């Protein structure tokens, strides 16, 4: 089962990422902009997610994704670590959130992490 140390290891492996305690919990930031948090008892993460996609994720996989009441008006979604298949899925989720917060210079410098191709 994935845990807080997996989150920390993967998040900090992303370029220009730092960890900072805020609101009494670990947060992960790219170039100073938050892209993930490890709230409460560290059994879930909160990540950036456009509201339209977030709502679809929650409807499609409510056992994996949910919206915390205090985050409902923001573009964030919660992810249950126990519901993730493996570290690859966790890395994909964290990298997607990182892309949403990263400045253009980093997206250009790390094309393998850059914006996904349009469908």
Tell me the pLDDT tens digit for each residue of 19-66.
999 999 999 999 999 999 999 889 999 999 999 899 999 999 999 999
Domain contains 57: yes
* CB burial readout 70-88, b (16+ within 10 A) else e: ebeeeebbbbbbeebeeee
What CATH code is carried by the domain that includes residue 44? 3.90.1150.30
Domain contains 26: yes
Tell me how far apart the terminal alpha carbons of the chain are, to the nearest angstrom.
Answer: 32
Domain contains 113: no
Report pLDDT digits (tens) over 56-78: 999 999 999 999 999 999 999 99
Share above pLDDT 90 across residues of the chain, in percent, rounded to a whole number: 87
- The total of structural domains in the chain comes to 1
Q: What is the pLDDT of residue 66?
A: 96
Contact 19, 28 (CB under 8 A): yes
Domain contains 111: no
What band does 114 get if pLDDT is binned at 50, 70 and 90? low
Domain range holding 98? 4-103
Domain contains 42: yes
Domain contains 118: no
Contact 17, 98 (CB under 8 A): yes
């Amino acid at each position: 089962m994935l845990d807080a140390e997996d989150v920390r290891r993967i998040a900090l492996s992303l370029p220009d990422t730092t960890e900072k305690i805020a609101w009494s919990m670990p947060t992960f930031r790219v170039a100073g902009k938050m892209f993930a948090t490890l709230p409460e008892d560290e059994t879930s993460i909160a990540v950036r997610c456009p509201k339209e996609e977030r709502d679809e994720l929650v409807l499609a996989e409510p056992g994996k994704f949910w919206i915390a009441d205090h985050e409902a008006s923001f573009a964030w979604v919660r992810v249950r670590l126990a519901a993730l298949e493996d570290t690859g899925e966790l890395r994909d989720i964290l990298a997607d959130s990182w892309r949403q917060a990263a400045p253009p210079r980093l997206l250009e410098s790390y094309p393998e992490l850059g914006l996904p191709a349009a469908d």
